[in-house]
Structure 1
C-alpha cells in the first residue's frame, strides 16, 4: 500500500524527511540554505522545523517507533 493512503506510513515518511533534512543542514548548511524558495525550499523548511521543534520531533519519532514495533 502506498504511503499516501496509509496514515501511519505518511507520518513515518514526513518524520524521516524532517529528520534527514535537519541532519543534512547540520552537516552542510550551504546545501539547503541556497534554496529557500520553490520545490527545493520544502527541504529547507523541513530542516527549519527539525531544528526549531527538535524536542517535539524527537518525541514523535519515539512515539512512531513504539507504535510500529508494538501495534503494527
Structure 2
C-alpha cells in the first residue's frame, strides 16, 4: 500500500523528511537557504525550520514511531 493512503506511513515519511531536511540544513546551511523562496525546494527549507524549532517534539515523535514500528 502506498504511504499516502496509510496514515502511520504518511507520518513516518513526514518525520523522515523533517529529520533529513534539518540534518542537511545543519551541515550545509547555504544549500537550503538559497532555495527558500522557491516553491518546491522551499518546502525542504520549511521542513528544516520545523525541525529546528520543534526539535523536542519531533524527537519525541520519532521515538514513538520507532516503538510503534518495533511493536508491529
- The TM-score, its normalising length taken from structure 2, stands at 0.96
Who is 2:59 aligned against? 58
Structure 1 alignment gaps of length 5 or more: none
Secondary structure at the counterpart of residue 64 of structure 1: helix
Equivalent-residue separation in structure 2 for 1:64 and 1:17 (angstroms): 14
Structure 2 alignment gaps of length 5 or more: none
Stretches of 4+ moved more than 6 A in 1? none
| 1:1-72 → structure 2 map (5 Å cutoff) | 1-37=1-37, 38-70=39-71, 72=72
Equivalent-residue separation in structure 2 for 1:21 and 1:4 (angstroms): 20
Q: What do you get for the CA RMSD once the two structures are aligned?
A: 0.5
